[in-house]
């Protein structure tokens, strides 16, 4: 069997696709790069925005081969997905046993190891689902309640991934609630990972700012080579009134600010990114101004700003006072410009400093990624992918470049004059 894989959406979806890839390999199937060469196409879907679902539909219609669709959109609207041309199987969520059955693969293949992933950085999912029930979010409807993996299983998988990847990205749907259902905590888990899986750099994906406990704060401050000093903390709005309408009752703008400022005071360099939604129902000019003011005040290094996308079946779809799309887009543009300015300032501030760099990407797209999530050019473009090295950061023209420091080292069997070697989920 020759299979084409395509993923839409978040890193949790990307992890699920890596599991499918491992399953196919265990069964002797071949993964191909184009539907033109495939016997079957497997699409892992996203339901976060209407645009994500539209992208999925376009891809499925153009596949031209029998297609299996899994993921969040399949869980939310299986009948609509099944009605698309070429679709022969619809699997709700990431049920690997069901995927194996649908493809006619041995059941044992569904439990194949994902110890070697396609990305330069590895993905490690620690939990699934979410109990927060934000009024705008369809993911909870698709993924269900929070379900945490066992600590020992996570550590065992991390050890395998660390043999071939220099960075492991800890992911899930709501990782800050890890362990709530099994008497554990995210801070305790990351402590265990750092202790039991040496050398590799860990990075957290999206986590609520107010869920960064004292253990995590101490780990961030202790060694940026072990836990990357990068916090992606969804903000969504700087207006308390809008946050209430969003159902995000566990923080207000002031508590969010206190949480990130406390961490920024202890960690340097420090990267802070956030998701922000503009044009949420009921958002006024004053609400938007509150968001702009908060973003101005906090040490953000990048922003992900999106106009509100109504999702059928969510509570927000029933809210009154819709914001005209044109207004929402103008507000998003203002925040994106503000975020771009902050990103440029952070990048400029790092020139002349040092960094822990991992080589990601392929071919002409190969570049470095620092601990504080800066993409940097490589002074030596021949440096192998998945190399990890200490670098001096120099501004060369308009680009920040990583110049290796230290003696000769070996990058997974390939000689290179760098320093620290490792391997990872992106690029």
Which band of pLDDT confidence, cut at 50, 70 and 90, is reported for residue 142?
confident
Assess whether 67 and 80 both reside in one domain: yes
The tens digit of pLDDT for each residue in 187-196 reads 999 999 999 9
Looking at residue 413, its pLDDT comes to: 29
Assess whether 148 and 164 both reside in one domain: yes
Q: What is the mean pLDDT of residues 364-392?
A: 93
Assess whether 251 and 382 both reside in one domain: no
Q: Is residue 315 over pLDDT 60?
A: yes
Looking at residue 305, its pLDDT comes to: 98
> Domain boundary at 349, 370, 398, which?
349
Q: What is the mean pLDDT of residues 85-111?
A: 92
In a domain? residue 422: no
> Domain boundary at 61, 82, 111, which?
111
Assess whether 339 and 369 both reside in one domain: no
By mean pLDDT, which of 113-117, 348-352, 389-393, 413-417 is the weakest? 413-417
Q: Compute the distance between CA of residue 197 and CA of residue 200 in angstroms, rounded to an integer.
A: 7
Assess whether 172 and 58 both reside in one domain: no
In a domain? residue 427: no
Q: What is the 3-class SS of the chain, one letter each residue?
A: CEEEEEECCCHHHHHHHHHHHHHHHHCCCEEECCHHHCCEEEEEECCCCHHHHHHHHHHHHCCCCCEEEEEHHHHHCHHHHHCCCCEEEECCECCHHHHHHHHCCCHHHHHCCCCCCCCCCEEEECEECCCCCCCCCCHHHHHCCCEECCHHHHHHHHHHHHCCCCEEEEECCCHHHCCCCCCCCHHHHHHHHHHHCCCCEEEECCCCHHHCCHHHHHHHHHCCCCECCEEECCCECCCHHHHHHHCCCCCCHHHHHHHHHHHHCCCCCCEEEEEEEECCCCCCHHHHHHHHHHHHHCCCCEEEEEECCCCCCCHHHHCCCCCCHHHHHHHHHHHHHHHHHHHHHHHHHHCCCEEEEEEECCHHHCEEECCCCCEEEECCCCCCCCCEEEEEEEEECCEEEEEECCCCEEECCEEECCCCCCCCCCC
| pTM for the structure as a whole | 0.91
Assess whether 7 and 135 both reside in one domain: no
Looking at residue 412, its pLDDT comes to: 35
Looking at residue 416, its pLDDT comes to: 32
Task: Report the 10 Å Cβ neighbour count for 142.
Answer: 25
In a domain? residue 79: yes
Looking at residue 426, its pLDDT comes to: 55
In a domain? residue 230: yes
The tens digit of pLDDT for each residue in 320-352 reads 999 999 999 999 999 999 999 999 999 999 999
Assess whether 237 and 329 both reside in one domain: yes
Q: Is residue 417 over pLDDT 70?
A: no
Assess whether 78 and 183 both reside in one domain: no
The tens digit of pLDDT for each residue in 171-187 reads 999 999 999 999 999 99
Assess whether 334 and 218 both reside in one domain: yes
Assess whether 264 and 356 both reside in one domain: no
Looking at residue 108, its pLDDT comes to: 86
Domain that holds residue 288: 122-349
The tens digit of pLDDT for each residue in 53-86 reads 999 999 999 999 999 999 999 999 999 999 999 9
| CATH code of the domain covering residue 96 | 3.40.50.12160
The tens digit of pLDDT for each residue in 239-293 reads 999 999 999 999 999 999 999 999 999 999 999 999 999 999 999 999 999 999 9
In a domain? residue 289: yes
Which band of pLDDT confidence, cut at 50, 70 and 90, is reported for residue 391?
very high
In a domain? residue 117: no
Q: Is residue 382 over pLDDT 90?
A: no
Assess whether 186 and 249 both reside in one domain: yes
Looking at residue 364, its pLDDT comes to: 81
Q: Percent of the chain at pLDDT above 90?
A: 84
Q: Is residue 107 over pLDDT 90?
A: no
Q: Is residue 425 over pLDDT 50?
A: no
> Domain boundary at 315, 332, 349, which?
349
In a domain? residue 139: yes
Q: Between helices 214-222 and 186-196, what is the axis angle to 10°?
A: 30
Q: What is the mean pLDDT of residues 401-407?
A: 86
Structural domain count, the chain: 3
Looking at residue 141, its pLDDT comes to: 80
In a domain? residue 426: no
Assess whether 251 and 330 both reside in one domain: yes
Q: What is the mean pLDDT of the chain?
A: 92
């Amino acid at each position: 069997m020759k299979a084409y894989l395509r993923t839409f959406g978040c890193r949790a979806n990307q992890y699920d696709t890596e599991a499918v890839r491992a399953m196919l390999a265990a069964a002797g199937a071949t993964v191909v790069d184009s539907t033109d060469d495939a016997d079957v196409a497997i699409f892992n879907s996203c339901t976060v925005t209407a645009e994500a679902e539209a992208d999925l539909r376009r891809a499925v219609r153009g596949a031209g081969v029998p297609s299996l669709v899994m993921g969040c959109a399949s869980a939310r609207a299986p009948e609509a997905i099944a009605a698309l041309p070429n679709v022969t199987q619809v699997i709700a969520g990431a049920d690997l046993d069901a995927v194996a059955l649908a493809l006619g693969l041995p059941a044992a293949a569904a439990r194949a190891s994902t110890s070697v992933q396609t990305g330069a950085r590895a993905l490690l999912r620690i939990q699934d689902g979410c109990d927060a029930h934000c009024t705008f979010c369809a993911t909870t409807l698709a993924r269900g309640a929070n379900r945490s993996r066992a600590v020992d299983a996570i550590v065992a998988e991390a050890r395998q991934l660390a043999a071939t990847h220099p960075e492991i990205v800890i992911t899930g749907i709501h990782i800050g609630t890890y362990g709530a259902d099994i008497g554990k905590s995210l801070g305790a888990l990351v402590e265990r990972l750092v202790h039991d899986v040496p050398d590799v750099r860990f990075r957290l994906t999206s986590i609520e700012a107010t869920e960064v406990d004292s253990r995590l704060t101490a780990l961030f401050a202790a060694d940026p080579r072990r836990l990357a000093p990068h916090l992606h903390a969804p903000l969504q709005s700087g207006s308390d009134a809008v946050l209430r309408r969003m159902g995000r009752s566990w923080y207000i703008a002031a508590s969010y600010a206190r949480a990130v400022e406390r961490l920024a005071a202890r960690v340097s360099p420090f990267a802070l990114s956030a998701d922000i939604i503009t044009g949420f129902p009921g958002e006024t000019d004053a609400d938007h101004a509150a968001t702009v003011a908060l973003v101005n005040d906090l040490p953000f290094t990048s922003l992900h700003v999106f106009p509100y996308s109504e999702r059928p079946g969510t509570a927000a779809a029933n809210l009154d006072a819709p914001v005209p799309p044109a207004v929402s887009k103008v507000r998003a543009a203002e925040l994106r410009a503000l975020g771009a300015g902050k990103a440029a300032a952070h990048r400029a501030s790092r020139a002349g400093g040092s960094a822990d760099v991992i080589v990601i990407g392929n071919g002409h797209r190969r570049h470095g990624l620092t601990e504080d999530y800066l993409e940097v050019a490589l002074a030596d473009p021949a440096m192998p992918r998945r190399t990890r090295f200490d670098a001096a950061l120099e501004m060369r023209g308009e680009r920040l470049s990583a110049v290796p420091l230290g003696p000769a080292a070996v990058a997974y069997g390939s000689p290179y004059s760098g320093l620290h070697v490792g391997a990872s989920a992106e690029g």
